[in-house]
Amino acid sequence: MSETPEKTLQIALVAHDACKETLVSWVGRHVAFFEAANIFATGTTGGLLKEHHPGLTVNAFKSGPLGGDQQIGALISEDKLDALFFFIDPMSPMPHDVDVKALTRLAIVYDIPMACSTATANCIVNYMSQSV
């Protein structure tokens, strides 16, 4: 009997400016989980992840307002993402609110796990860690 190879998870990480530090720190607490995944991130978030966690495989797209949100949305619509971690700052105005809504809408339409807070993100990581 041959063993089936483990699937490499495809994960998107996005954070608004006020939440970037929180996301980078949170990823550090779950670095073993993310080391086994391919990560897709919007521009600045991806750069920060590469800087603080050089052992991770991070594919950085454009900045969110410059099309990065749509690039991640395309991965969702092509069934190429397993989860979306999108740390949203609910207290700051969002000039590109339509992009945020479009991205979260796609995650719902395509029924992928999506976390917008550390509490939900922890639940998803714990669940996916047991399922892989």
Confidence of residue 2 (pLDDT cuts 50, 70, 90): very low
Catalytic residue among 17, 69, 99, 111: 69
Q: Is the pLDDT of residue 131 over 80?
A: no
Q: What is the pLDDT of residue 5?
A: 53
Residues 6+ apart with CB under 8 A from 88: 16, 19, 100, 116
% of the chain exceeding 70 in pLDDT: 93
Burial classification of residue 26, based on how many CB atoms lie within 10 Å of its CB (0-12 exposed, 13-18 middle, 19 or more buried): buried
Q: What is the mean pLDDT of residues 108-121?
A: 97
Q: Output the CATH code of domain 9-131.
A: 3.40.50.1380
Q: What is the pLDDT of residue 64?
A: 86
Q: What is the pLDDT of residue 97?
A: 78
Active site residue 69: yes
Three-class DSSP category at 60:
strand
Confidence of residue 93 (pLDDT cuts 50, 70, 90): confident
Could you tell me the pTM of the whole model? 0.91
Q: What is the mean pLDDT of residues 75-91?
A: 95
The domain segmentation of the chain, as residue ranges, is: 9-131
Q: What is the mean pLDDT of residues 14-23?
A: 94
H or E stretch at 35? helix 31-35
Alpha carbon distance 67, 99 (integer Å): 9
Question: For 83-111, b where at least 16 C-beta lie within 10 A, e where not — what string?
Answer: bbbbbbeeeeeeeeeebbeebbebbeebe
**23-57 residue pLDDT tens:** 999 999 999 999 999 999 999 999 999 999 999 99
% of the chain exceeding 90 in pLDDT: 77
